[in-house]
Structure 1
């Protein structure tokens, strides 16, 4: 049985005991040399029949959860704080100091997506191709932190436009790249909750970002003769630079070459994902960046996912104007920023609970579309009443809608599992094209439509209704795919598919026929 095996290092290299594993982990993490691919170190790893398999997996997951997850959450917090700092700076004179018209300000918000959206596809293709995602992602964090800091020295429309264009390029590497990296370590029944924790970083950043901004904007005005909104960019950019250097050290690479786990754990990590889909999570000899891109483009599910994501992000585009929405409640700038925090804290809790239940049940459609329906209710409440209490309640419902978006790329990863090069391209395509919804949404919240923003919310209602319909289409397609698998479980076992099943058999130490039998249990999650 797959659950009854454990991977250990040979007694000559490890002492033949799982009990000293933690000591070996410390020694392994202290080594500076690049670890060899596990396909070259089989002589030091044994496959043992043992009841300790679950214990070994728990140790591996605990190590990943305590090192990988906090790091990517911290990065995501800074990612969104840096990206949306311009909307907060607006409250303290950015438009006046730079001489921006309303149209120019809307363009400043939107132009980031002109580079952010298309860059995600090649970025994810590169991420799958290189061997050190920790170095790639960490470097990108440093670059966007530097660009964010430079935004504080701009003095005109052209200068801030240039900064917004260039910050979109390194930021494009992170979210789809992080989801892809998680998919290389966690099984499909573990991925949703971890991805929700990651996305919780974005949601909580809206809370902490507002609190941080409130402190900077209220306490740094005129310090050293510099406006507070400029200090906002300097301080937040500097923090991102420090986080980027930390990420290079803390993030893992791939299961076959991560430095801070043992060879036995590297092999176990690969075997877990092989069991998850009945074939190795590994590109075949014929797979390449471009072949993966072509496969993703030919898959109709990827195109529908992309349009669905664009529509949902248009419906959720209020996020870029949330401080402006809280300001319509009639309070001071500081109070408005403080009021922006509770809805995002609530949304973070909803996001994690929703994903935990999605992992437990294996269901996807209702866990993604359900939170959108909460946003629809929030929009209806906001359009129907002008009371301060009613509008503030609607903001809680609107913020919690991101619990659905948090699982979108998880669903893409589940629906397009193999080969990895196709999965990487699919995630980049869906998130890259989908963020066009944010670009369009930058013009959907016009200042002249305030303070009610009824037209903006009506656009959001239509967009989320359309996204729900597309999600239902995808669900039915996956139901059909599973029925087809029920009818022909042994189909498509030639070429690259056969190579990955053979690699799965090698990792598990079983015959090809046994691996084939296990693959019969694979089904898409819908």
Structure 2
């Protein structure tokens, strides 16, 4: 009987009575795996099911998700960046002259987007978490900002431009943190960064596509009495509305909704159980009466006082400031080199293409080695080099066209690997779905304040040298590098300190409930480097 008790103790939840032969077989075949699955909260049946899925079968299941989820999110991310940044293309097609803009009016129009964008990211993810089908919420957001984008093409004054930019930021606010949340719901930690890199590949592609598309649409100038810059907003806005309608049908919601369609029931079961094993479960979602518990203010408080989120936000800002500043200004920088408006639009494509490649390659390597810091820091180093060149040589940009255009390429290569690494690093180091949803939104919210900075650092009166723009971008890249190195050191030190005691020793000190409440502060939680 003692033998039966020892084996059955592996499953404290069910304690199923098995015969000695079955117990002996289970103990001999996979005792370590069974322990891991049971401690994650799985039943014995679920633990045995998970152990029976081979690595090859797991890869096959995740590839099914890849083909359904990633292309859709990547296209939507491309559209979101296209819609927020095409104002830079419209600028060199006559936007300012038509709307009688002067001084810092253009910078103000850029900044207005980020006010609601920053303020609404966290509340939006809290709303998203209440939707059983995220595709409905995301579809509504995209339809709304597509409509606003279209209306931007018919504004008659600076006030109208600012109003549409405000509502564009309001409706776009929920998409990116929602997309990151969805990736975290479908994939385990060691499969996240490459999938996130596809977003940033799409972001880089949006920069290239924006210039090519703007150059083509500009030929419509005069059609129906509208200037070319208006057609840029109208055509791209209509395309966004069409994609918003498609989201209701094409964006995967969860394994449960996909089961029996493009996933088998066993596939869906594996994905659900894998999420519990790798991400943890939110155990107290219902009370004794079966009703959902109220909002967990203690989790919000734990997010607000979590030091890692603020350091990660600074790493995020080391991308946001250079990225938005360059995205809004690159067509003008290239025009300053002596190119025509059309050629300047077209020449934005190659740097962004290099940025897309760098995001994918660095993310593949980071996932391969499960190590984020080196790829983030090396990208920040490239940014420092690129902006040092531009800061020194842009004053006489027409005499240094080749060098400055090369530096723009280097800047894009440095910009795009940072955010996939930063977001994967953050989402992998937050325990529990509630804190993960709030934490990633909070980090992105703070980091996107860099968009406001990026909106003002390139002053037209400083062209073509732009000392404030190039100097600020260099400074934020350097500050982000310091924060990334600090995070790496602190995570390494905490992991080593927790490893001084075995798991059994920690469990002797703390109860299971105490360890669960600690979340990522638990001594059993290992920070991902």
TM range (shorter): 0.7 to 0.9
- Equivalent residue, structure 2, for 1:293: 300
Instruction: Please give the per-residue CA displacement for 1:119-175, whole angstroms capped at 9, x wherever unaligned.
Output: 101111222232211111121111111110010110011111110110111111111
Match of 2:179 in 1: 178
Counterpart mapping for 1:17-28 below 5 A:
none
CA–CA distance in 1 between the matches of 2:375 and 2:442?
A: 22
Name the structure 2 match of 1:340. Answer: 348
- Distance in 2 between residues matched to 1:128 and 1:369, nearest whole Å: 33
The CA distance in 2 between the partners of 1:312 and 1:81, in whole Å, is 17
CA offset digits 1:367-404 (Å, max 9, x no partner): 11211110111111222333100000000111112211
Check if 1:319 corresponds to 2:321: no
Contact 2:149/2:168 (8 A) holds in 1: yes
Cα displacement (A) at 1:290: 3.6
Q: After TM superposition, give the deviation of residue 431 of structure 1 in Å.
A: 0.7
Q: Counterpart in 2 of 1:495?
A: 513
Query: Are the aligned partners of 1:207 and 1:345 in contact in 2 as well (CA < 8 Å)?
Result: yes
Alpha-carbon distance, 1:51 to partner: 5.7
Match of 1:377 in 2: 385
Which residue does the alignment assign to 1:19? none
Q: 1:78 to 1:98 in 2, by over 3 A?
A: same
Distance in 1 (CA, whole Å) between partners of 2:515 and 2:294 is: 11
User: In 2 relative to 1, CA 426–468 (structure 1 residues): closer, same or farther, beyond 3 Å?
Assistant: same
Distance 1:411 1:78, change over 3 A: same
How far, CA to CA, are the matches of 1:59 and 1:421 in structure 2?
29
Q: Which residue of 2 aligns with 1:434?
A: 447
1:45–1:264 Cα contact (<8 Å) kept:
no
Aligned to 1:198: 199
Output one character per residue of 1:312-357: Cα deviation in whole Å (capped at 9) or x when no partner: 4224332221211222221111111111000110110111000000
Q: CA RMSD in A?
A: 2.5
Moved more, 121-130 or 440-449: 121-130
TM-superposed CA distance for 1:49, in Å, is 7.9
Secondary structure of the equivalent of 1:234?
Answer: helix
Identify which of 262, 265, 269 aligns with 1:263: 265
- Any unmatched runs of 5+ in structure 1? 1-41, 502-518
Counterpart-to-counterpart distance in 2, 1:430 and 1:313: 12
1:77 and 1:202 in contact (8 A); partners too: yes
Shift of 1:213: 0.8
Name 2:40's counterpart in structure 1: none
User: 367-376 or 264-273, which moves further after superposition?
Assistant: 264-273
CA distance in 2: counterparts of 1:254 and 1:500, whole angstroms: 27
Q: How does 1:129-168 map to 2 (within 5 A)?
A: 129-168=130-169
Name which of 370, 390, 393 aligns with 1:362: 370
Residue from 417, 442, 457 that aligns with 2:470: 457
Aligned to 1:25: none
Q: Is 89-98 or 55-64 further displaced after alignment? A: 55-64
8 A Cα contact 2:50 2:270, kept in partner: no
Q: Matched residues in 1 for 2:524 and 2:59: separation? A: 23
Q: Which residue number in structure 1 is paired with residue 66 of structure 2? A: 65
Separation of aligned partners in 1, 2:518 and 2:267: 20
For 1:525, the equivalent position in structure 2 comes to 528
Q: Provide, for residues 38-83 of structure 1, a one-character-per-residue CA deviation record: whole Å limited to 9, x for no partner.
A: xxxx9x9995487653343233212211110110011011101111
TM-score (norm 1): 0.83
1:408 to 412, 415, 422: 422
| C-alpha distance 282-162 of structure 1, shift in aligned 2 (>3 A) | farther
What is the total number of aligned residue pairs between the two structures?
A: 464
